[in-house]
């Protein structure tokens, strides 16, 4: 489309025909993404500029699918790979947190296993709570870091003043000795 959004010809035609089902040539329809009004010439949706990059990507995808033997698309991700499983009950996913032992575990461990007498909480609730605590601690450390940096800067300034004063006193003392030495001669 002129607004740089992409539509397949079928969708563009559906949008165009839904606006004016009795069209003869030309016409308009709005881009579904940005609502830009698209003007069509006498060729209708067939007069829209083709996006060759998108067409090439689609062609490459179709070729890959055919080389795999067609069929269904492979799953994008393995759902079980993201969910940790219990070591004792392999089919059970870890979904609770044993507050007593401070370890994540599964419901079967709470009902039948080693965490029967323990206090447990939902894993997500403990996660949110610990995340909040960690964020607060990080903020506190960041604020403390600012105070420490200010104290270090103040100490650096104090050291510089002391060095300058020491140098000044050494110079004055040297001048006093020079004056005394000159008076003795």
User: 123-171: per-residue pLDDT in tens?
Assistant: 889 999 999 999 999 988 888 887 888 889 999 999 999 999 999 999 9
Residues 110 and 168 both lie in one domain: yes
Sequence-distant (6+) residues with CB within 8 A of 107 are: 92, 95, 96
Rounded CA separation 69/129 (Å): 49
Residues 58 and 100 both lie in one domain: no
- pTM of the entire predicted model: 0.39
In this structure, is residue 184 part of a structural domain?
A: no
Q: Which domain holds residue 53?
A: 9-67
In this structure, is residue 113 part of a structural domain?
A: yes
Rounded CA separation 101/32 (Å): 54
3-state DSSP assignment of residue 45: helix
What is each CA distance from 28 to 2, 22, 38, 183, in whole angstroms? 12, 13, 5, 107
Q: What is the mean pLDDT of the chain?
A: 83
CATH assignment at residue 149: 3.30.160.60
Task: Give me the phi and psi of 86, to 5 degrees please.
Answer: -70, 140
Residues 100 and 171 both lie in one domain: yes
Q: Which of 24, 52, 67 is the last residue of a domain?
A: 67
Answer yes or no: are the C-beta atoms of 33 and 5 closer than 8 Å. yes
User: 35-51: per-residue pLDDT in tens?
Assistant: 888 888 887 778 888 88
In this structure, is residue 14 part of a structural domain?
A: yes
Residues 112 and 175 both lie in one domain: yes
């Amino acid at each position: 489309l002129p607004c740089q959004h992409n539509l397949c010809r079928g969708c563009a035609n559906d949008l165009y025909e839904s606006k004016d089902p009795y069209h003869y040539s030309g016409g308009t329809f709005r881009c579904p993404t940005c609502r830009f009004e698209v003007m069509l010439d006498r060729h209708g949706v067939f007069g829209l500029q083709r996006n060759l990059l998108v067409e090439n990507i689609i062609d490459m995808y179709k070729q890959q699918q055919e080389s795999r033997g067609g069929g269904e698309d492979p799953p994008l991700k393995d759902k079980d790979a993201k969910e940790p499983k219990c070591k004792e009950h392999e089919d059970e996913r870890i979904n609770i947190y044993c507050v007593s032992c401070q370890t994540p575990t599964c419901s079967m461990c709470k009902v039948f296993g080693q965490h029967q007498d323990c206090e447990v909480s939902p894993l997500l609730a403990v996660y949110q709570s610990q995340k909040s605590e960690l964020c607060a601690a990080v903020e506190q450390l960041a604020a403390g870091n600012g105070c420490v940096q200010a104290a270090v800067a103040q100490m650096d300034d104090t050291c510089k003043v002391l060095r300058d004063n020491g140098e000044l006193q050494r110079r004055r003392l040297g001048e006093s000795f020079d004056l005394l030495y000159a008076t003795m001669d």
